[in-house]
Amino acid sequence: MSQVDSGRAGSGRRAPARVAKRGTGQNQTGAGWLFVSPMLIILGIFLAIPIVMALWVSFTDWNGRGNPFGSRVNFVGAENYTSLLTEQGLSRQDFMLSMRNTFYYVLGVVPVQTALALLLAVIVNQKFLKGRTFFRTAFYFPSVVSSVAISLVFVYLFTGTGAINTILSKVGVIGPNWLDDPRGVIHIIGEKVGLWSIDAPPSALASTEVMNLSLWEWFKGPSVALSTIMIQVIWTTAGTFMLMFLAALQDLPAEVEEAAMVDGANRRQRFMNVTVPHLRPTIFLVLTLGIIGTWQVFDQMYVMTQGGPAKTTLTPAYLSYAAAFRQQQWGEGAAIAFILFALIFLLTSIQRYLLRDKDEVAKKKATKAQAKAAKAKGALA
Amino acid sequence: MSTVTVNDGNIVNRAGRGKKIAVYGALILFSLMYVFPFFIQIATSFKTDADATTNPLNLIPQPVTMAALKRLADTDYPLWFQNSVTVTILVTIGRVFFCSLAGYALARLKFRGRDGVFTALLAVMAVPGIVLLIPKFLVLNYIGLYDTYPALFVPLLVDAAGVFIMKQFFETISPSMEEAARIDGAGTFRTFWSIVLPMARPALITLTILSFQGSWNELGHFVIAVSDPNLYTLTRGVGQLTSGGLGSGNQFPISMASALIMTIPTALIFIIFQRYFTQGANAGADKG
């Protein structure tokens, strides 16, 4: 770096401006590549190349011993993928369990955290409120704390005799053993309303198998243990998304709201017809980030449950880790990672597509509305 | 409100009061939900095991005891803390320097292949971090870095999102100062170091905070990079504490204390740089 530096400094000082300029243009190629080289090296060695290596491993039967690229490792074709997706067996069963769990997890966490974040943002954004900074800080703080530390706190809060169950017992509810309870939430609700008994599930559901899991298992809902983790994640991440909503709310021009007020729109109308359309891009962003984030959930499972009880908190990310690092089935672990990668890619692509569409529609609507408003104004004048 | 007629004023006031009560009510409820867990955590750190089990809601330990903290000091916890501090400092310095270098080049320097590099960066950012656990292990293992100190921080030295944030920032500042420096004969690195970087202070602080937070809270990478307990960082060590011997018994004070101490540095930095945390969260939003 110093070479480039001194060389240019020397030539620049003596040469007239025009030459210096040309010199700069030449040197920028060298300097440019020099400047990006640490990034290229680190991301190349620890990101790009490893992905290719893992792709190779996902087509082998490497067991963790020796060199995964040596001659003693067998190429097994797509076997690791087919055993997860199309063949009867324990691998597929575990993978399907993890997909089911995460599906319910995403379905529960994403809408609730988005709604809670929006609610918190709207509350904190109230102009009359005193100490807004304090509340904003309080709601955001969990987002910056280590997920490991938060997990420990929640394990304690939700333990059988912990704070949550103590509070519940004060209002006459006997709380479950949250993180040790594998019962599915839909199963429990069904039993409560008399649809079925968990101990004797309806045979039509229990005996029909789809992808190695009975329908009864598929429709289990998140287990109580997984729901506990969902509560924790919603509580933790809502603060981050609250900040995004807050930024968007503060971008809303005051004149627009005032105009709506002058037009006689009440508070609810103003919120639904002015604020929400303005927030639409942010809502989509939050949903996208939420979906990307939730499909990757790993830390909580690693710290709190290790996939249990009864595999009801198993997720693809944790399963991939456990298959490789615990069971030494590296090919299978890598295959799970790539399937997860493809899935997240697919979901975000769909969402991008929808977002783009909605944006265009919204824009068209906005221009139409503007034209109408202009017309109305003209008529008034 | 003072200019409206008495009649209207009444309506506005009544609606306003109802709304205020609702807002404050919701605020108090949510604040309790958000603050109470931390209060319980702090209180429990100074409780006896029995007190923590029988009075989980009590915010005043009876008796107050340092037993949990003392026992924690006898474990490997201090070592993990030290490892976390070292790794976090190295990663933060590396990221701030390398990300601003690359971000500056991508924003300002004209060189052949720049667009290609930027496209590659965007592609890299789209890769979900969690699917990199096995790949990263494979490469660390292959080049013989697995289970060494450098394995903890070298792969984290550059963060694609950080480069992106810096590039975005550099594009917003006016190039006139740099041109002046260039005409005065300053080299590219010199211009970058003494003209551009000082102007980038807000972005640098944001990046520092994101890097601190990212590496202090990182778990996945530390799980796959090392297995030697002497190389554990806080997240790895503490994560192991609960799944190992401590989770089975009711030793909640020590578990709360271990979580508390690892939260203190975060809390301090958060309080000092609160403003920049907010920006960081939204800078992250832009990349999505």
Q: What is the 3-state secondary structure (H, E, C) of chain A?
A: CHHHHHHHHHHHHHCCHHHHHHHHHHHHHHHHHHHHHHHHHHHHHHHHHHHHHHHHHCCECCCCCCCCCCCCCCECCCHHHHHHHCCCCHHHHHHHHHHHHHHHHHHHHHHHHHHHHHHHHHHHCCCCCCCHHHHHHHHHHHHHCCHHHHHHHHHHHCCCCCHHHHHHHHCCCCCCCHHHCCCEHHHHHHHHCCCCECCECCHHHHCCEECCEEHHHHCCCCEHHHHHHHHHHHHHHHHHHHHHHHHHHHHCCHHHHHHHHHCCCCHHHHHHHHHHHHHHHHHHHHHHHHHHHHHCCCHHHHHHHCCCCCCCCCCHHHHHHHHHHHCCCHHHHHHHHHHHHHHHHHHHHHHHHHHHHHHHHHHHHHHHHHHHHHHHHHHHC
The burial class, CB within 10 Å (0-12 / 13-18 / 19+), for A353 is exposed
Residue of chain B minimizing CA distance to A237: B281
Looking up tokens 């790949």 gives: B135
3-state secondary structure at position B110: coil
Question: Within an 8 Å CB–CB cutoff, is residue B262 touching chain A?
Answer: yes
Q: Give yes or no for a contact between B95 and B159, defined as CB atoms under 8 angstroms apart.
A: yes
Q: Report whether pLDDT(B228) > 90.
A: yes
Q: Across the interface, do A155 and B135 touch by the CB < 8 Å criterion?
A: no
Q: Which of B33, B219, B255 sits opposite A299 (nearest CB)?
A: B219
Scored b (16 or more CB within 10 A) or e, A153-176 reads bbbbbbbeebbbbbeeeeeeeebb
Question: Within an 8 Å CB–CB cutoff, is residue A353 touching chain B?
Answer: no
Residue A47: which of B141, B99, B132, B215 has the closest Cα?
B132
Residue of chain A minimizing CA distance to B156: A42
* Domain residue spans of chain B: 6-67, 69-287
A274 HSE (CA, 13 A, CB side): 21
Measured in angstroms, the CA of A368 and the nearest CA of chain B are apart by 28
Question: Within an 8 Å CB–CB cutoff, is residue B193 touching chain A?
Answer: no
What pLDDT, on a 0 to 100 scale, did the predictor assign at position B184?
A: 87
Question: Within an 8 Å CB–CB cutoff, is residue B189 touching chain A?
Answer: yes
CA distance B138 to B151: 12
Q: Give yes or no for a contact between A222 and A184, defined as CB atoms under 8 angstroms apart.
A: yes
Measured in angstroms, the CA of A371 and the nearest CA of chain B are apart by 31
The burial class, CB within 10 Å (0-12 / 13-18 / 19+), for B28 is exposed
Answer whether residue A250 is part of any domain: yes
C-alpha torsion sign, points A300, A303, A306, A310: negative
Count Cβ–Cβ pairs < 8 Å, chain A vs chain B: 306
Confidence of residue B80 (pLDDT cuts 50, 70, 90): very high
Structural domain for A162, as ranges? 97-184+221-380
A370 HSE (CA, 13 A, CB side): 7
Answer whether residue A197 is part of any domain: no
Q: Across the interface, do B217 and A306 touch by the CB < 8 Å criterion?
A: no
Measured in angstroms, the CA of B286 and the nearest CA of chain A are apart by 9
Question: Within an 8 Å CB–CB cutoff, is residue B34 touching chain A?
Answer: yes
Question: Within an 8 Å CB–CB cutoff, is residue A42 touching chain B?
Answer: yes
Domain count, chain A: 2
Whether residue A30 is found in the same domain as residue A133: no
What pLDDT, on a 0 to 100 scale, did the predictor assign at position A204?
A: 86
A244 HSE (CA, 13 A, CB side): 31
Question: What's phi and psi for B279, nearest 5 deg?
Answer: -65, -40
C-alpha torsion sign, points A233, A235, A238, A243: negative
CA distance A213 to A205: 10
C-alpha torsion sign, points A23, A25, A31, A37: negative
Q: Across the interface, do B219 and A302 touch by the CB < 8 Å criterion?
A: yes
CA distance B187 to A366: 49
Structure tokens at B235: 């997240």
Whether residue A259 is found in the same domain as residue A324: yes
What is the CATH T-level fold of the domain B69-287, as seen in this structure? MetI-like fold (1.10.3720)
What pLDDT, on a 0 to 100 scale, did the predictor assign at position B211?
A: 94
Residues of chain B positioned with their CB less than 8 A from the CB of A5:
187-190
CA distance B4 to B6: 7
Answer whether residue A65 is part of any domain: no
Measured in angstroms, the CA of A268 and the nearest CA of chain B are apart by 12
Name the percent of chain B lying above pLDDT 70. Answer: 88
Q: Report whether pLDDT(B9) > 60.
A: no
Q: Report whether pLDDT(B179) > 70.
A: yes
Q: Which of A5, A68, A303 sits opposite B138 (nearest CB)?
A: A68
CB within 8 Å of chain A, chain B residues 159-188: 160, 163, 182-188
Distance of CA A139 to the CA centre of its chain: 19
What pLDDT, on a 0 to 100 scale, did the predictor assign at position A253?
A: 79
What pLDDT, on a 0 to 100 scale, did the predictor assign at position B12?
A: 45
Scored b (16 or more CB within 10 A) or e, B183-216 reads eebbbbbbbbbebbbeebeebbbbbbbbbbbbbb
What pLDDT, on a 0 to 100 scale, did the predictor assign at position B5?
A: 40
What pLDDT, on a 0 to 100 scale, did the predictor assign at position A354?
A: 78
Model confidence pLDDT, tens digit, residues B137-156: 999 999 999 999 999 999 99
Please state, in angstroms and as integers, the Cα–Cα distance from residue A291 to each residue in A104, A228, A243, B177, B288, following that order: 12, 19, 18, 43, 12
Residue B189: which of B90, B94, B97, B92 has the closest Cα?
B97
CA distance B234 to A32: 38
CATH number at residue A278: 1.10.3720.10
Whether residue A157 is found in the same domain as residue A252: yes
Pairing of strands A209-210, A213-214: antiparallel
C-alpha torsion sign, points A315, A321, A323, A327: negative
Question: Within an 8 Å CB–CB cutoff, is residue B23 touching chain A?
Answer: yes
Residues of chain B positioned with their CB less than 8 A from the CB of A161:
53-54, 56
Residue A152: which of A352, A310, A302, A2 has the closest Cα?
A302
Whether residue A15 is found in the same domain as residue A104: no
Residues of chain B positioned with their CB less than 8 A from the CB of A329:
none
Find residue A223's DSSP bridge partners. Answer: A184
Q: Across the interface, do A163 and B224 touch by the CB < 8 Å criterion?
A: no
What number is the average pLDDT over the span B19-45?
92
Residues in chain A predicted with pLDDT less than 50, given as ranges, are: 1-25, 380-381
Whether residue A228 is found in the same domain as residue A170: yes
